Amino acid sequence: MRFILAMLDILVKGISYLLLPSKPSSKPLIPLPPSRPQDWVIRKLNSKNYALSQTAQANIEKLALTYLNISSLFKNPLRITSGYRSQDEQIDLYRRMGKRPPLGSAHCFGAAMDILDEDGSVFATLSKPENLIRFGIYLEAKSATPNWCHVQITPPKSGKRIFIP
Ligand SMILES: [Zn+2]
């Protein structure tokens, strides 16, 4: 019985082999666009994959390059904890902290990212005047960002490189 089943199996496999097309399709493949070094950063900055306005898209592209540029200052990879936020998310986040949401946060324009900074070393390095200028960045004061570093690429209202949100 087992022998018959085995023979039957071989027969079925043989027939299906003959029936299946053996030649691969000769249609040319559509080439995938080359991925750019900043693409994974953009995915991280817009992790919920929101449809962005043109301005936010342009900002996030520039912010991702800024991330790669400032990363060159550090031995370990910088961990992004927050990037683009929708207006609703921003309001919700501050409501949960029992605070009034700041209006016009750069996060809502794709122009700001938060980087994990438990020992303050990220802020210490980025806040050096030469780095603020060289990378074109603005930081929230350390007093407002205890264990993270808020980096943005658009100036705050005050125009100060280090500002209180
Ligand atoms: Zn922030």
* Residues 16, 8: Cα–Cα separation, whole Å: 12
CA 17 / ligand 1 centre spacing (Å): 59
Residues 84/56, Cβ–Cβ less than 8 Å: yes
CA 87 / ligand 1 centre spacing (Å): 14
How confident is the model over 106-147, as pLDDT tens digits?
A: 999 999 999 999 999 999 999 999 999 999 999 999 999 999
Residues 57/110, Cβ–Cβ less than 8 Å: yes
CA 115 / ligand 1 centre spacing (Å): 8
Indicate the residue type of 121. S
Give the pLDDT confidence score for residue 29 in this predicted structure. Answer: 87
With tokens 């029992």, the residue in question is 98
CA 139 / ligand 1 centre spacing (Å): 9
**Quick one: CATH architecture of 39-163?**
2-Layer Sandwich (3.30)
Give the pLDDT confidence score for residue 60 in this predicted structure. Answer: 98
The distance of Cα 16 from the centroid of its chain, to the nearest Å, equals 47
Domain boundary assignment for the chain: 39-163
For the full predicted model, state whether its pTM sits above 0.85.
no
* Residues 37, 27: Cα–Cα separation, whole Å: 30
* Residues 134, 156: Cα–Cα separation, whole Å: 18
